[in-house]
Amino acid sequence: MADVTDNIRQLTLKEHFPQATPKDITDYLESLRWIEQSLFQWASIVESSEDAIISKDLDGNLTSWNRGAEKIYGYSANEVIGKSVLIIFPPGQKKELRSILARIKKGKQIRHYETKRVRKDGHMIDVSVTISPIKDIAGRISGASVIARDITEQKRSNNQRLSLAAIVDSSEEAILSQTLEGIITSWNKAAERLFGYIAEETVGQQFDMLFSDQHKDEATRLLNEITASRKITEHETHIQHKDGHTVPIALTLSPVYDDNSDLIGASAIARDITRRREQEQNKELELTAKDEFISLASHQLRTPATAAKQTIGLLLEGYAGPIGDEQQRYLQQAYDSTERQLIFIEELLRVAKADAGKIILRKETFNLTTLVQSILLELDSKFIERHQTISFRSKPKELQMSADKNNLRMVLENIIENAGKYSLDGKTISVAIAQNADMTTITVKDEGVGISEDDISRIFDKFSRVANPLSDKVGGSGLGLYWANKIVRLHGGNITVNSVPKKGSTFTIQLPRHE
């Protein structure tokens, strides 16, 4: 086919240029083939481009439309050729088209102009366009070529980055980033306030500049953790302010990855914890002072109360001579009151000791079944007085466990006795113990006044007493459950409560099994 075309071209050339030599004809044909090949290659490039490449005349009517334009705008070439380019403009944008055409007619190029266009499906997209004049063979401007790139995702990403940058810059916490070599790459305003350095003084510098000489090894260790892709959360340390003083901070370091999931650095969030440290220290001082006061007051109270109880006891037993019935009644009231005072003092001492962390568990292996039975026997007279029934179940029948027997006994006495106190006469108190491979469970269930959901959350607080129909009659210090919870937690266990007002409560103690 190419040979036939060349023959036709040779005849045409000889017709118009009879004096042309064979070499002239050969050169001419070579030039034509080169031009055709170049045009074909250019057309292929245009057609395969991901960018929209289109052309329009000076009236704004479309004259060409590549596959990139089809992909970006959603129209096929057949749908748009010969139509106004306004088909892809947002409504009311004729003024923009007139402005573009006016510049093109003056021979001016418009480069990387960002604007909006509308797809066939109605979606608005962001595009970056470069518009150039098209000239005919005589050099006259006959239209315009447009290369458009969809930058919607790029704009969205940029907006997200700008939004994130604004959040970071306005954050009250110091936020910075660094490379895997420990070079600081970003520094927000809060970092300037916390460390005293402005961004120009830190970006490009080593991360360890923020640490004193004796803590520079710590900076290296933290960076090694990040290199191993490990996140560091709320690491408490000290940094050195620009003016030389040290600042306690909580530091969180997170690995930063690129789009290929390769580790490229770390982000750091630093928070000044000076005030928190001061509050913690003040709280410790307050607790220490309070515990010392409670301990001292308890000891000072226990000695005279014990002496008073012993003296009254001697009087009741007739060591000072016979006493009448009325005297007996008054002395017994004084004796009972003094005994209650001593019980309260003992509770204060136990709580003070627990809060000071001075309780040492003395674990031993013992028969829990026997222990619970002895507690129920000890409290039996009180249950009989209230016409209450006791139910006890042990599974297995002889249950062995390892714990601090004396402290656990006091815990169980407190909870079982409370079950009776906060139940009306004639009700049933059920105690059950069970054991599996991991846990020993003790359950105390009553049919008492119950506890509201709001009150359950605070019954284990120190000095907490819940108002109910029996609370005034029962009395108490509000320390028993607080102390019981402390002892159970020291064993690695927990106490939970399920309760329905006017129906009753179930206290469940779970303790890890130790053989």
pLDDT in tens, 35-79: 556 545 555 556 668 899 999 999 999 999 999 999 999 999 999
User: What is the share, in percent, of the chain residues with pLDDT greater than 70?
Assistant: 87
pLDDT of 15 > 70? The answer is: no
pLDDT of 1 > 50? The answer is: no
- Compute the mean pLDDT over every residue in the chain, rounded to the nearest whole number: 85
pLDDT of 149 > 80? The answer is: yes
CB contact at 8 A, 235 and 250:
yes
User: In b/e form, how buried is each residue of 377-389, taking b as 16+ CB within 10 angstroms?
Assistant: eebeeebeeeebe
263-272: strand order across its sheet: 184-187, 174-179, 263-272, 246-257, 232-240
SS3 288: helix
Least confident of 130-134, 191-195, 256-260, 353-357: 353-357
CA 12/CA 35 separation, integer angstroms: 18
Q: What does the pLDDT read at residue 463?
A: 75
**In terms of C-beta distances under 8 Å and separation of at least 24 residues, what long-range contacts does 474-478 make, across chains too?**
474/421, 474/422, 475/340, 477/344, 477/347, 477/348
What average pLDDT does this structure show over 381-409?
92
Q: How confident is the model at residue 351 (pLDDT cuts 50, 70, 90)?
A: confident
**Is domain 363-512 annotated with CATH 3.40.50.300?**
no
Q: What does the pLDDT read at residue 372?
A: 95
pLDDT of 299 > 80? The answer is: no
- 44: tokens are 């292929």
CB contact at 8 A, 368 and 396:
no
Q: Which residue has the higher pLDDT, 436 or 472?
A: 436
Q: What does the pLDDT read at residue 4?
A: 47
pLDDT, tens digit, for every residue of 201-255?
999 999 999 998 888 888 889 988 888 888 999 999 999 999 999 999 999 999 9
Instruction: Assign a CATH topology to domain 2-148.
Output: Beta-Lactamase (3.30.450)
State whether the Cα torsion 187-193-195-197 is positive or negative: positive
What average pLDDT does this structure show over 173-200?
92
SS3 281: helix
Q: How confident is the model at residue 12 (pLDDT cuts 50, 70, 90)?
A: low
Cross-strand partners of 272: 249
Instruction: Assign a CATH topology to domain 171-272.
Output: Beta-Lactamase (3.30.450)
